[in-house]
Amino acid sequence: MERAAATEPRRAAVLGSPIAHSLSPVLHRAAYAALGLTGWSYDRVEVTEADLEGFLQGLDASWAGLSLTMPLKRAVIPLLDGISDTAAAVEAVNTVVIAEDGRRTGDNTDIPGMLAALNERGVRKVDHAAVLGAGATASSALAALGRICTGPVTAYVRSRARAEEMRGWGERLGVEVHTADWAEAAHAFDAPLVVSTTPAGATDILVPYVPERPGTLFDVLYDPWPTPLAAAWAEQGGSVVGGLDLLVHQAVFQVELMTGRSPAPLAAMRAAGEEALAGR
């Protein structure tokens, strides 16, 4: 069932801080154009944790949904009327759907977005995997790996606290998680699937250790792209899934949730994202 007529004014936006770099408006606007939703608009809004509650209270009936990035993915949870099981599993909401009666429901499209991006490259099952880094994206990666990895996941982290946190997520998600110090991160490349969730530049020191026959690298960054690690991986013939793949697939799920239109136009959204990145 469609949530609104194509010409009815509806609003959506991505919130976060900083937010100026976000490609989400490009992707969502491309979807609206392809779907003929001429009355729909999508913006980016700088919102901090301190501003979030006030922003939500100020929303009127024209709002259909919100995309959330850091630092809001966990801060928003107590401000919502409910969250999906997927979002609850990792305590992270990246999507808020606003019903016509004003009810706000949180969801997480990062997890299905990761799975869709991997599936698109033919990665549907692995017997073990590695995660570089910890944090909100890493916990979403563990949740996704829990659905396709039949064996252990080794997380390479920088501190004992981070190691304990990742093992805790593993227990909660039903994933066998082993942890290792960041100094041993080159050993991650022995796995058939490596998910890098680190900030830009963090994995540059690992480039010389890319093996001759690497498996699949999922690097969640998209700007700048390719990262030195992704470039070296591809040069050695390995399969690379990038941050734009994740961004587009999670946005596809967001568009479907917010508009009630399915399927969302994946090809048009990807093309718009690629064009925008090329212009940066």
Active site residues: 73
d(CA 160, CA 88): 25
d(CA 147, CA 155): 17
For residues 42 and 29, is the Cβ–Cβ distance under 8 A? yes
User: In the chain, what's the furthest Cα-to-Cα distance?
Assistant: 57
For residues 71 and 43, is the Cβ–Cβ distance under 8 A? no
DSSP annotation of 76: T
d(CA 101, CA 81): 12
- 133: Cα separation from own chain's centroid: 15
d(CA 94, CA 38): 25
